[in-house]
Amino acid sequence: MLVKEAITHGKVSLGNTKMPGSTFAICAFACITGGKLAKVKGSVCEQCNMRRLQKIRPCVDQGYKKNLFKWQVSNSSNWIAAMVFQIKRYAVDGYHRWFDSGDLQ
Ligand code: SF4
């Protein structure tokens, strides 16, 4: 698989400098459990940094929404192969974090 082919299913990132390894992020406004918790006063999700980041950085917002959309329209075995390919390629220190933005769909 080539990188350009893999990222058509969603992009694994090395851009989160707060943690080692690679990450995979989706739109925080699509969080299923987080969307419920965002309405609960005092919860972590009520003060979600990723939702705030999406509001102030349009390019981040677009990237997270693209990852969500690509997952939704991908054939699941192609999506898995694309994620495995990217994680193996980028997570050279052995770390990968799912959903540094977003939650389990
Ligand atoms: S991204 Fe995390 S903190 Fe933000 S709403 Fe979703 S689950 Fe909650």
pLDDT tens digit sequence for 49-69: 999 999 999 999 999 999 999
Asked if residue 38 has its Cβ within 6 Å of ligand 1, the reply is yes
- Give the confidence band of 91 by pLDDT, cuts at 50, 70, 90: confident
Residue 33 is which amino acid?
Answer: T
E strands along 1-105, which residues?
Answer: 22-24, 96-98
- At 97 the three-state DSSP class reads strand
For residue 27 and ligand 1, the question of a CB distance below 6 A is answered with no
Please answer whether residues 38 and 50 qualify as being in contact, where contact means their C-beta atoms are separated by less than 8 angstroms: no
Run of H or E residues at 83: helix 76-90
Supply the pTM of this predicted model.
Answer: 0.92
Spell out the domain ranges in the chain: 3-14+25-98
